Each structure stands twice: as structure tokens, then as C-alpha cells.
Structure 1
Amino acid sequence: MTLQSFIENYGYFAVLLGTFLEGETVLVMAGFAAFRGYLDLPLVIAVAFAGSFLGDQLYFLLGQHKGVAILARYPRLAERATHVQSLLHKYHTLLILVIRFLYGLRIVGPVAIGMSGILWHRFLILNMVGAAVWAVVIGTLGYFFGSVLELLIADIRHYEEAILGFFLLAGLLMWAIYRWRNRGQK
């Protein structure tokens, strides 16, 4: 199986799963794959929206119902949750809209917001808008990254498997480092 066929067969599922859990690296790579013609950019954006939206809804509900227990079990998350809640008091609506853009707050943010007493339907609407903006912006950046890269490398098709492989490995390495640094926090 070639890298191209692997992406064509499993790319959308990877985008859904990746954006449900974290997101940016997977979505940038999917945008690049869309530029190369392996995936369809509007579908990448739609799947990324769904994954991001559903993930944050789940984290919000966990915060509402199990937030205290989660923070007690993972004390390092409690520090971030306190930070999110202080930001929430100052920038209520804006924070909910942009939380997925803030590094290190992607999962703990919705948990902390769920603990804050915000009504579920308010979060649902703001989360929907935020997820849509995020999916369009990050997916499109990945797509345009591909067009810039093509300008820099005259014969990108010759190098595309190496480039996609590099980004896949870089994404996995970033995820592994993140998980290692944050073990015991969630």
C-alpha cells in the first residue's frame, strides 16, 4: 500500500479521530493532503469540524459531571483549569470561541468551562461557531502551505512521500512528547 492510497483510504477517519483528541497537526497535514489531491478540502474541513465539535462537547460534559474528580486525579490539570476559569470571568464568550486555538488548553479548557456553570446550550452554540472557524482556518492553512511548498520545490511529486512521511513522523513525535510531558495530568 502506498502512502497516497493509505491517505485516500484512512485520511478522513484520521482527521476525525485526530481533531476529536487534539487537532492542529492532523488538520494541517490533511489540508496539505487535500492540496495534493488525496483528500477533498471541503470534506476535510467538515470532518475536522465534526471531530473538534464533538470532542469539546464531550470534554464540556465531563467537566459538568466529573470535573472535580478529574482535577483531583490529575492535579497538573487543575492549574490550567484555574487559569481557564480566570480567563472565563474576563472573556466569557470570546474564550469559548477561541479555546481550541490556545495551546495547552484544548482539553482542559472545555472541562473547566463545563465546571463553570455555563449552560450547555450556550456552550453548544459557541462551540459550534468556534469549531467551524477553527476547521476552516487550520485546514486552509495546511492547504496553502502545500501551495507555498510547491513554489519552493519545483518537482514536489518527486518528494511528496518523503514530505508527507516527515510531517506524519513530526506529528507523531509532537503528540508523543506532549503525552509524555503531560502524563498523569488528565
Structure 2
Amino acid sequence: MSLEAIVSQYGLPALFVGAGVEGETVVMLGGMLVHRGLLSFWPAILAASLGSLTADQLFFLIGRRLRSWPLVERTRHRPAFKRARQTFERYPTGFILLFRFLYGLRTISPMAIGTTDVPATRFLALNALAALIWGTLFITLGYWFGQGIQTVFGRARHYEYVLAFVAGIAAVVLLVLHIARRRHNRRGDALPSRREGA
């Protein structure tokens, strides 16, 4: 089976899962596939948005219904969780709309918000709007990036090498971000008074 056939058959479900588990990198790759004509623009946006929304709602429900669960109890003591709660309490609407764009807070924020008294219907409505904006933005960015790749590499039929190249770059970027986050967390652990006062 060709790559085109695989993506055509499984592309949208893969984009749905990848958007919820990984995030922006997968969605931008989805945008590149839209540019290649392997996925349609609006269905790709819908799949990415729903994947992100589903993951967020799951974490929200964990925070709301399983507050005494050991995983939630451990998570509540993490600096990022406290930071998310504090930011939400200051800017509840803005934070729900923007947390998925904030580095280091995207995954933990829905769980933190779930431990507050915000109505579940309000969170769902605002989160759905934010997910749609997020999905549209990163599918579009991936589409534009695909245009740039095509300009550089030309209209090669065997574009698997291009996708492998982009995936390699994405892996390096993710590794660098992971290392930077670990260093940031170590600095934060070394300076608890500064973190708590922020």
C-alpha cells in the first residue's frame, strides 16, 4: 500500500490522536499533508481540534471527578499545577482560551482547572472555541510550511524524504525543548521562594 493510500485512509484518525497526545508538531505535519492533497483542509482542522479538545476534557474530568486519586494528588504539588491555578484565578476566561498556547502549562492546565469551581459547561464552551482556533492556526502553519518545503525541494513525487527530514527537525526541536524544560524545573526547585512569590 502506498503512503498516499495509508494517509488517505488513516490520516484523520491519526491526526485526531496525535493532536491530543503530542500537539503542535503532529498538527503541523497534518497541515503539510493538506498541502500535498492527502487530507482536506477543513476535515483536518476538525480532527486536530477535536483531538485536542477531547484530551483537555479528559484531563478536566480527571481533575473534577478524581481529586483524591494519587496521580492527581501528586500532580497538585507540582509548581506548574500551582502556577496554572494561580493564573486561572486571576484571568479565568483568558486562561481557558490561552492555556494550550502556553509553554509548560498545556497538559496540566485542564486538570488544574478541573479542581476549581468553574462550571463544566463553561469550560467546555470556551475550550471548544480555543481548540478550534488552535487547530486552524497549526494546520494553516503546516500548510504554509509545506509550500515552503515544496519551493525548496520542488515537486518531487517521492516526498517521503521531505517528511522524514521535517520529522527529524521536529524531533530535535522537541528534544531541545525537553532539555530546556528540565533545566528550568531544576532551577525552579533550587529557588522555591522565588517560584512561590511569582
Aligned to 1:51: 51
Q: Which has the higher contact order (CA 8 A, sep 6+)?
A: 1
Distance in 2 between residues matched to 1:51 and 1:176, nearest whole Å: 23
1:31 touches 1:143 (CA, 8 Å); kept in 2? Answer: yes
1:28 touches 1:139 (CA, 8 Å); kept in 2? Answer: yes
Distance in 2 between residues matched to 1:78 and 1:109, nearest whole Å: 12
Aligned to 2:28: 28
**Other structure's SS at 1:156 match:** coil
Aligned to 1:156: 155
Aligned to 1:118: 118
Larger radius of gyration: 2
Q: Pairwise mapping of residues 165-180 of structure 1 onto structure 2 (< 5 A)?
A: 165-171=164-170
TM-superposed deviation, 1:173: 6.7
Q: Deviations over 1:32-80 (max 9, x none)?
A: 01001111111100111111111111111111122453243447x7211
Q: Which runs of 5+ in 2 are unaligned?
A: 183-198
Aligned to 2:134: 134
RMSD of aligned residue pairs (Cα, Å): 2.5
Aligned to 2:194: none
Aligned to 2:66: 66
TM-superposed deviation, 1:2: 3.0
* Residue type at the aligned position of 1:70: L
Distance in 1 between residues matched to 2:46 and 2:88, nearest whole Å: 28
* Residue type at the aligned position of 1:163: V
Aligned residues: 180
Q: Deviations over 1:77-103 (max 9, x none)?
A: 721110101111222111100111112
Q: Deviations over 1:103-157 (max 9, x none)?
A: 222221100011122110110110011011101111111111111222233x232
- Percentage of identical aligned residues: 32
1:72 touches 1:78 (CA, 8 Å); kept in 2? Answer: no
2:80 touches 2:105 (CA, 8 Å); kept in 1? Answer: yes
1:20 touches 1:53 (CA, 8 Å); kept in 2? Answer: yes
Aligned to 2:102: 102
Q: Which runs of 5+ in 1 are unaligned?
A: none
Distance in 2 between residues matched to 1:18 and 1:178, nearest whole Å: 18
TM-superposed deviation, 1:13: 1.2
1:60 touches 1:111 (CA, 8 Å); kept in 2? Answer: yes
1:99 touches 1:109 (CA, 8 Å); kept in 2? Answer: yes
Kindly tell me: are residues 16 and 160 of structure 1, through their superposed partners in 2, closer, same or farther at Cα, counting changes over 3 Å? Answer: same
Q: Give the stretch that moved more between structures: 33-42 or 157-166.
A: 157-166
